[in-house]
Amino acid sequence: GQQLNQSPQSMFIQEGEDVSMNCTSSSIFNTWLWYKQDPGEGPVLLIALYKAGELTSNGRLTAQFGITRKDSFLNISASIPSDVGIYFCAGHTSGTYKYIFGTGTRLKVLA
Amino acid sequence: DARVTQTPRHKVTEMGQEVTMRCQPILGHNTVFWYRQTMMQGLELLAYFRNRAPLDDSGMPKDRFSAEMPDATLATLKIQPSEPRDSAVYFCASVLRLAGTYNEQFFGPGTRLTVL
């Protein structure tokens, strides 16, 4: 099935560093969702974005809905060891039921 | 706090056996999804229900998979007979409704299925 391009695929960072990841699509979405998945668990919703250009924060996480509506970015500031996991983006178009998921960014934090 | 629940969390079975996975969506959510997650394929949509009616199950192998919602608080995914290639993590997700700011999709913890 269709997947969104998400980059980077994986990254190692030092504790305390900021992290950036993004998701791009060839299609326009009305909603962007960002999830984190810990090993052995289901994806947990972190941030939802509904308007082009919207910037939304959740603690140390900040996500932006791209102006073109074809991309989205997630930033994590001052990373900590519990930020380890896989981060997924998902796009949704109003009037449809399908959520298109990114391929995931695997984050590893070095203490 | 409201969350999607799934049982069992883990299931190991032998090829040919029937497997039933259960999901309780968040109360009041009218849209339920079943996904399968593997390393190779990522998250695959298997089935989608709205107001308990199955609207798309084209992602499921029809000969062995079936999905139902006997009532608004229970969704089931059944595999009969199971095969080793069915080994994966199966997620249920629910949405309040697919419109505006109500389309946030919440996932359950998953059922990790191993078919020997």
Is the confidence at residue A97, as pLDDT, over 80?
yes
Chain A residues whose C-beta is within 8 A of a chain B C-beta are 1, 3, 31, 33, 35, 40-45, 48, 50, 88, 90, 92, 94-99, 101, 103-104
Q: Residue A2's pLDDT is what?
A: 73
Beta-carbon separation of A42 and B4 below 8 A: yes
Task: Report pLDDT digits (tens) over A3-20.
Answer: 899 999 999 999 999 999
Best mutation target among B21, B103, B113, B114 (most A Cβ atoms within 10 Å) is: B103
Is the confidence at residue A1, as pLDDT, over 70?
no
Nearest to B44 by CA among B96, B93, B116: B93
Give dist(CA B101, CA B79) in Å, integer: 34
Give dist(CA A80, CA A39) in Å, integer: 17
Chain pair A-B, CB pairs under 8 angstroms: 55
Q: Which residues pair with B106 in a beta bridge?
A: B94
Beta-carbon separation of A33 and B104 below 8 A: yes
Task: Report pLDDT digits (tens) over A68-89.
Answer: 999 999 999 999 999 999 999 9
